[in-house]
Amino acid sequence: MRNTAKLTTAVLAAGALTLGLTACGADKDSASSDTSGPLIVAASPTPHAEILTYVRDNLAKKAGLDLEVKEFTDYVTPNTATEDGSVGANYFQNQPYLDDFNKKNGTHIAPVVTVHLEPLGLYSNKIEKADALKSGATIAVPNDTVNEARALKLLAANGLITLKDGAGNSATPADIAENPKNLKFKELEAAQTPRSLDDVDAAVVNGNYAIEADLKPAEDALVLESPKNNPYGNFLAVKEGNEKDPRVTKLAKLLTSPEVKKFIEDKYAGSVLPSF
């Protein structure tokens, strides 16, 4: 697309999060301080950038919004670019992840409006049901704090493991109280989990990376997160103080419009769920 710049960034482990990371090729003079210019939004390619591109091409002009979309392939740079003003907003993350990121990095990113949920799922190229996992099977899980905990909660919710009381959004395999199948865990950067399916018995994969890997969460997942009372909805976010930017408020309204709800339902067929 004409106004969409694709930025390929290095895959970064959670332990290497630093504020020194900046968006490759992003112009700091396009920061959110100038509300007369276009609103530049950093987004994961799928489904975030796809949803934003739909808004840009079909709804933004009528609303008087000049919207640009920049794609990033990691979960770090969109926040650091928003913090330093290289972009005016981002759309890729959930609240537990943002809380952890702000705490670890001293950033000041704030949510604006929740748009959708990408259910986390367990996938396998070797078995067709989760209860077919053999003793000692290896499961790949995301290695960032929040998504690893989320993956373990998914396994616990489906009876594969039991977590210790009080294990929360920072749970690790060390917090497993019962592991009847003696499952082993391979911790990988989230984007790598679908690529590991030929090397492990199963993998817990974030919804956006599952879709990019041509997996259909609603059909292919052995087990899938329930959307009921799910805290992991993905939202539009900005640096604190920019929530009332008129461009941001216009985009927030468009992202939660009936047109976007229908686009999500039609395009993703249950693999991405509207949260509004």
- Average pLDDT in the 13-31 region? 37
Do 109 and 235 form a contact (C-beta atoms < 8 A)? Answer: no
**pLDDT per position as a tens digit, 144-158:** 988 999 999 999 999
Beta strands in 104-147 (DSSP E): 109-117, 121-123, 138-142
Which has the higher per-residue pLDDT, 198 or 229?
198
pLDDT at 34: 67
pLDDT at 5: 39
Cβ partners under 8 Å of residue 71, min gap 6: 4, 5, 6, 7, 42, 43, 44, 45, 49
**pLDDT per position as a tens digit, 122-174:** 999 999 999 999 999 999 999 998 899 999 999 999 999 999 999 988 899 99
Q: Look at residue 19 and tell me whether its pLDDT is greater than 90.
A: no
pLDDT at 93: 96
Q: How confident is the model at residue 268 (pLDDT cuts 50, 70, 90)?
A: very high
- At 100, list the tokens: 């952890």
Do 81 and 87 form a contact (C-beta atoms < 8 A)? Answer: yes
pLDDT at 33: 57
Above pLDDT 90, what percent of the chain? 78
Q: Is 238 exposed, middle or buried (0-12, 13-18, 19+ CB in 10 A)?
A: buried
Above pLDDT 70, what percent of the chain? 88
Say how far apart CA 133 and CA 201 lie, in whole Å. 7
Say how far apart CA 234 and CA 228 lie, in whole Å. 15
Record the pTM.
Answer: 0.74
pLDDT at 4: 38
Helix (H, G, I), strand (E, B) or coil at 139: strand
**pLDDT per position as a tens digit, 175-221:** 999 999 999 999 999 999 999 999 999 999 998 899 899 999 989 99
Question: How confident is the prediction for the chain on average, in pLDDT?
Answer: 88
- Average pLDDT in the 17-30 region? 38
**Angle ∠(235,98,257) on CA atoms, nearest 5:** 5
